[in-house]
Structures are given as C-alpha cells and as structure tokens.
Amino acid sequence: MATELGMRPTLLAGSFEGDEPLEAATGPLALARVRRLVPSPGFTGVFSFRLATRAIAEVRACDLAHVSVSRELGPVWVILVLTVLRRPWVAQTHGMLTARSSKFHRSIDLFLRPLLRRSGGIIALTEQEAESVRGWLGEGGPCITVLGNPVAAAPARVPDDVRGVNHRREVIWIARLHRRKRVSTFAAAAARAGELGRTEAWTVVGPDEGDEAFLRRQVALNKNLSYEGSIPGGAVAARLDRANVFVLTSEAEPWGNVLALALSLRMPVVVPESAALARTIEEYGAGLVFADGDHAALAHQVSKILDDETLRSRLSVGAGNLSEQVLGRERQLATLRSIYKSVVDRTPF
C-alpha cells in the first residue's frame, strides 16, 4: 500500500529456516534468518543481528517507519533505534500487544510502554483493541486509529447453484488447530447437527498445532465432519468460496484474517460473542453471533442461515457492505495517507 501512496518502501522482516515467504514483496525486501536468542514463550525471544544492523541503516535513511509491534526483540530494537535517532514512526499492534499479561510479558512492558508513548501514532485493528491499548498505555499516549488488516484480492464468486462440495451444502472452519481456536466447539456443533438429522457437510481446514489428534477422533465418530489438512495461503479464498457459511470459534479473536476474507466474498459468517468483530458484524447484518463455547447455539445459528434463503441473501449483502466500508482498499489508503502525513508533519527533522 505504501507504493500506492507514492512512497518507496523497504520491508524489514525475519523468518525461520524453511518458513520464508513464498511471494515476493512489493519493493525492496530485507529478509534475514532469525533464531531464538532468549528462551521465552511464543516469539518474544526471536532476534537477528543481521537484521538489527540493517535496521540502523534503514532508520537513518527513512522519512517514516511503520512498525508491527508485539513484544518481540526485533521490533523492540527497531523502536529503540527510531527513538534514539529521532525518526518519525507509527506502531501497528495487530491485536498482539494486550493479548497476554503474564509476569514475563509485564516485565517487558516496563521497557516497551514508555517507548510506545513516544510514537507518532498507533494503529489498532478494532475499537475493542483500541480500548485495550489505551488502558495499557495509561495517560499521555499517542492518538490511536482503528484500521483493520487489508484483505487480499478475492477470486470471482462461484455461482450459488454450484457452490458446495458436489452440490452438498457446506459449513467451513479454517484456522490453526490450536486450543485457543476451539475447533472442539465446531466438532461438537457438527455432532449436534448430525443428531438432528441434518445433512450439510462440516469441514475443517488448517495446520495442526496440538488439536489434530482430538479432531481426527471426532471425525471418526461423525460422518458429517471432515478434516482436509493444511492448504497454501493463496488457496484459502477459493476454498472458502466453495462453502456456504464460514464459522469462527476462537477465544477472544482480536481480528481474524480468514474471517475478513470470508466477508469480502460476501459470505455469511457465524462468530462467538468474544470476537472483536462480533459487534461490527451484527451492526452490518453480515452474520450471526453465538455464546462462546455453546455448540448447540452454534449449530442452531448455522441451520438458520442454511434453511432461510432470504436471511442468507440479506447476510450476504451485509457482509459485502461491511467489507467495502470497513475493510475496503480505498478507505485503507486514505486512512494511512492521513496518518503518515500527520506524523511526518509533526516531527522536526
């Protein structure tokens, strides 16, 4: 998007061995191998000395930096360099900054919080996240702008009369098989639907992160439930579009890239109350909401959508409106242009 705004961006990124990006970035890409420098939960202790050195040179030459922030050593190092060299920068938290609050994470906050207070601005995914970040920052923090992640270009829609696997209606779940994603709720809802004599297919797609063994046991018990394994990121949109309803079951999902993609496909969605986009989805009439972990309520909401063509059509229109008005590319570009200009204009060189 920076290129579309007339800028010449350089992307600094790290990757583990075998996990390099498949697609080339737009503009110069500085990619370095990272390793765990400090034993820590998640990716907090990941670092690259090569990238750290490159960051100093890039910060010296830049007019503005846009930093994706969690509590990882790499981004924290870049923020420290920006602060020392007094360059303008904005932070984007991507729902990661306030998601964890262990003693370990709080100890890092003692150092990170004062740095973020000195940023030119912060970009949050949702109003819910913005409220959390304001509370985390305390008094005197920078302006926080709500701007969701951009959605990749969606493929042409599959006609309604051929959507679904072999013309069978399908409910789809796409995510990592991590406990926080709660595929167990989806599996239980599929079992409930089967008990009620329903015939739609309930399909799980995604890489294993601990729950595959559980899921395969459920697949063996429920003929309407299946697991397709992992698929490439570039194939997700097309796979979504073969189904009729997308289901999110994650615990307190701060965003949901697949959810946003489903909405861009004008696809009715069902999400738990704790999802950050739940309120927005209800406001736009883009889907239905269920109580977290309530598999019977999930099965009921799905059946309402599948059985009511009028409701399904109305939710499809709402999903398209939400995607265009909240996630649309033109809004993304206009908001970023405004943020960047404001930060640069307020920073003395």
Least confident of 9-18, 94-103, 165-174, 270-279: 94-103
* Pair 133, 117: CB distance under 8 Å: no
Look at residue 244 and tell me whether its pLDDT is greater than 60.
yes
Look at residue 307 and tell me whether its pLDDT is greater than 90.
yes
Least confident of 62-71, 98-107, 123-132: 98-107
Q: Could you tell me the fold of the domain covering 11-150+328-345?
A: Rossmann fold (3.40.50)
The predicted pLDDT at position 138 comes to 85
The predicted pLDDT at position 151 comes to 79
Q: Which residue has the higher pLDDT, 333 or 317?
A: 317
Look at residue 22 and tell me whether its pLDDT is greater than 80.
no
Residue 3's pLDDT band (cuts 50, 70, 90): low
The predicted pLDDT at position 233 comes to 85
Q: What count of residues does the chain have?
A: 349
- Which tokens is 318 given? 């709402």
- Which tokens is 5 given? 């705004």
The predicted pLDDT at position 154 comes to 55
The continuous run of DSSP H or E covering 310 comes out as helix 309-326
Q: Which residue has the higher pLDDT, 23 or 329?
A: 329
Look at residue 165 and tell me whether its pLDDT is greater than 70.
no
Q: Where are the domains of the chain?
A: 11-150+328-345, 160-326
- Would you state the torsion angle of the CA atoms of residues 99, 103, 105, 106, taken in this order, to the nearest 10 degrees? 90
pLDDT single digits (tens) 185-201: 999 999 999 999 999 99
Contacts of 290 by beta carbon, 8 Å cutoff, 6+ apart: 270, 271, 272, 273, 297, 298, 300, 301
CATH number of 160-326: 3.40.50.2000
Contacts of 253 by beta carbon, 8 Å cutoff, 6+ apart: 259, 271, 272, 274, 275, 276, 277
- Would you state the torsion angle of the CA atoms of residues 306, 261, 295, 196, taken in this order, to the nearest 10 degrees? 20
The predicted pLDDT at position 164 comes to 46
Look at residue 229 and tell me whether its pLDDT is greater than 70.
yes
Averaged pLDDT score across all residues of the chain: 87
Q: Which residue has the higher pLDDT, 93 or 213?
A: 213
Q: Which of 167, 171, 185 is nearest to 303 (CA)?
A: 171
